[in-house]
Amino acid sequence: MNQNQAERLQAERKKIENEFDITQYEHVPRRYYGRIFFATLIVVALAGLARAFANGQIEWGYIGQFLTSEAILWGLLNTIIMSILAMLLGVIIGVITAIMRMSANPILRYVAITYTWLFRGTPLILQLLLWFNLALIFPVIGIPGLFQLDTVSLMTPFVAALLGLSINQGAYTAEVVRAGLLSVDTGQYEAAKSIGMPRLQALRRVILPQAMRVIIPPVGNEFIGMVKMTSLASVIQYSELLHNAQNIYYANARVMELLIVAGIWYLAVVTVLSFGQSRLELRFARGAGKRS
Amino acid sequence: MRSIVKAVGLNKYYDQFHALKDVSIEVEQGEVLCIIGPSGSGKSTLLRCVNQLEKIDKGGLWVDGELVGYRIVGNKLHELNDAQIARQRLSTGMVFQRFNLFPHMTALQNVVEGPIQVLKRSPKEANEEAIELLARVGLADKRHSYPVELSGGQQQRVAIARALAMRPKLMLFDEPTSALDPELVGEVLSVMRDLAHSGMTMIVVTHELGFAREVSNRMVFMDGGQIVEAGSPEDILISPQNPRTQSFISAVRT
């Protein structure tokens, strides 16, 4: 830039500044009266709610007492075990179903589609009852000539709950996994092949780690959902948290107190899980660019 | 000279579309072949057939003396299985238009992935060699960067290093500079030029006529799924015989 041009730019700037000389004025932020009004309203409502609970006929002492009682803690442990096992099995079923669903073989594909349709299309509680009562139609199960088992003794509440929850979960997870696999660019398959990877290795080393970024948030949500869905297993006598809490209040009639106890534990488990989920998401976000 | 690639009467269909029509071509060891032609002419398809990203419908293709994708049984060709195809791909390296680096791995991890996971080489040895390769493409200092943190030109150079890490006998380049900003084309071409001078056998699908003229031993012009004209770079670029070649060259030049 030469001397002349610089001077001209300077002169132009001066002219503009003289014309609109508000450069020294103070900026006053706008006030949001609507927001202030509604925030006040909510605070008042919450205060009323707190007062109602404080004056309600709740024996707070019972809650503290039963929170760590043996039956409740056993129920909690059973809930956690069932959530983990059912979710694990559900994810395995889901991955297999997703891969079947994307197969070129029409039989594999349609079996996967039908499975998803059937188990997403019926209520979970109905499925649990079906598994639990399987002995009514099949007194013995097994492979003819190989082994046979008495259905009643096999289909304990634990087994029925595990089958019901995981097979139902698998149908949902299959769709999540499929979306995850489809989200990976076909160029990634080609690049993996081009360095000599067979299909399974490409899936394990290249495709799945990238699909995980898409899969983890919804599967995390479903895990949280699973923790709460295990409570449905109380209808088939699986002694999880809610079932044990109910057993106690059938005896002592402290219904609300025990429901609150169960609620506190469900919340605690879910909180821990949410924390774990965000850690896992960070891990699989490697190389995914900077995002908030 | 030994031939590395030999294609005899290749045909390829996408449903009704006849993408390759009786293509026959031979590439000798150490040769750099550039393929040019309008889009949809089948040049990328031909390249992708060489390392079996596309399946051939008719004809035969030999890479390094081995029939690609099939086993001859009597007078029939039986398709090979996944593992056999994967093994055959080891003789070729491929560089893609869109780089296709693994985004969840650093530059170094991208380069060592094949040697460690596929060739089962020791991580220490593979890492050392990978760093050398990254230095060769001028990116030793970027080895811990993820692909998102690299420019297009840098990503493509890592992709070249990744392909070289498998010690291929043949390198395939599918429009390696077409997705790059103009100012980044030079750095990739310069890496490819060095590679060509080192004696690597290369097949390059490209629109960079200047590069093709400087580096290639032989050029092929394709149109409508056929090889229309083949010859030295001077033959094709300066005195093309076929009218389709002539009009393509003059259209690209302007």
CA A120, distance to chain mean position in Å, is: 16
Which residue from B104, B117, B166 is facing A287, i.e. has the nearest CB?
B104
Calpha distance B67→B48 (Å, rounded): 15
Q: Which chain B residues are Cβ-neighbours of A283 within 8 angstroms?
A: none
Q: What angle do CA A180, A185, A191 make, to 5 degrees?
A: 120
Q: What is the pLDDT of residues B124-161, one digit of tens each?
A: 999 999 999 999 999 999 999 999 999 999 999 999 99
Q: Which chain A residues are Cβ-neighbours of B165 within 8 angstroms?
A: 195
Per-residue confidence band for A24, with pLDDT thresholds at 50, 70 and 90: confident
Q: Which chain B residues are Cβ-neighbours of A195 within 8 angstroms?
A: 89, 93, 113-114, 118, 162-163, 165-166
Percentage, residues of chain A above pLDDT 70: 98
Q: What is the pLDDT of residues A114-125, one digit of tens each?
A: 999 999 999 999
Task: Establish whether this prediction's ipTM goes over 0.90.
Answer: yes
Q: Where are the alpha helices (DSSP H) in B69-114?
A: 82-89, 107-113
Residue matched to tokens 């080609």: A190
Contact check, Cβ <8 Å, A287/B106: yes
Q: What is the pLDDT of residue A291?
A: 40
Calpha distance A92→A84 (Å, rounded): 12
Q: Which chain B residues are Cβ-neighbours of A192 within 8 angstroms?
A: 102
Calpha distance B240→A67 (Å, rounded): 89
pTM of the prediction? Answer: 0.81
Q: What is the pLDDT of residue B120?
A: 97
Interface size A-B, in CB pairs within 8 Å, comes to: 78
Contact check, Cβ <8 Å, B102/A188: yes
Which residue from A196, A206, A210 is facing B89, i.e. has the nearest CB?
A196
Q: Which chain B residues are Cβ-neighbours of A190 within 8 angstroms?
A: 53, 94, 96, 100
Contact check, Cβ <8 Å, B82/A209: no
Q: Which chain A residues are Cβ-neighbours of B86 within 8 angstroms?
A: 193, 196-198
Rounded to an integer, the average pLDDT of A46-55 is 92
Q: What is the pLDDT of residues B158-203, one digit of tens each?
A: 999 999 999 999 999 999 999 999 999 999 999 999 999 999 999 9
Q: What is the pLDDT of residues B62-72, one digit of tens each?
A: 999 999 999 99
Interface with chain B: mutation pick from A185, A195, A286, highest number of B CBs within 10 Å: A195
Name B71's bridge partners.
B78
Q: What is the pLDDT of residue B252?
A: 84
Q: What is the pLDDT of residue A44?
A: 97
B85 by Cβ neighbours in 10 Å (0-12 / 13-18 / 19+) ranks as: buried
Q: Which residues of A touch B (CB under 8 A)?
A: 185, 187-188, 190-199, 201, 205-206, 209-210, 284, 286-289
Three-state secondary structure readout of chain A: CCHHHHHHHHHHHHHHHHHCCCCCCCCCCCCCHHHHHHHHHHHHHHHHHHHHHHHCCCCHHHHHHHHCCHHHHHHHHHHHHHHHHHHHHHHHHHHHHHHHHCCCCHHHHHHHHHHHHHHHCCCHHHHHHHHHCHHHCCCEEEECCCEEEEHHHHCCHHHHHHHHHHHHHHHHHHHHHHHHHHCCCHHHHHHHHHCCCCHHHHHHHHHHHHHHHHHHHHHHHHHHHHHHHHHHHHHHCCCCHHHHHHHHHHHHCCHHHHHHHHHHHHHHHHHHHHHHHHHHHHHHCCCCCCCC
Residues A169 and A116 sit within 8 Å (Cβ to Cβ)? no
Give the contacts of B41 (CB within 8 A, at least 6 positions apart). B222, B223, B224, B225
From A286's Cα to the closest Cα of chain B, the distance in A is: 5
Calpha distance B231→A16 (Å, rounded): 66
Interface with chain B: mutation pick from A190, A194, A204, highest number of B CBs within 10 Å: A194
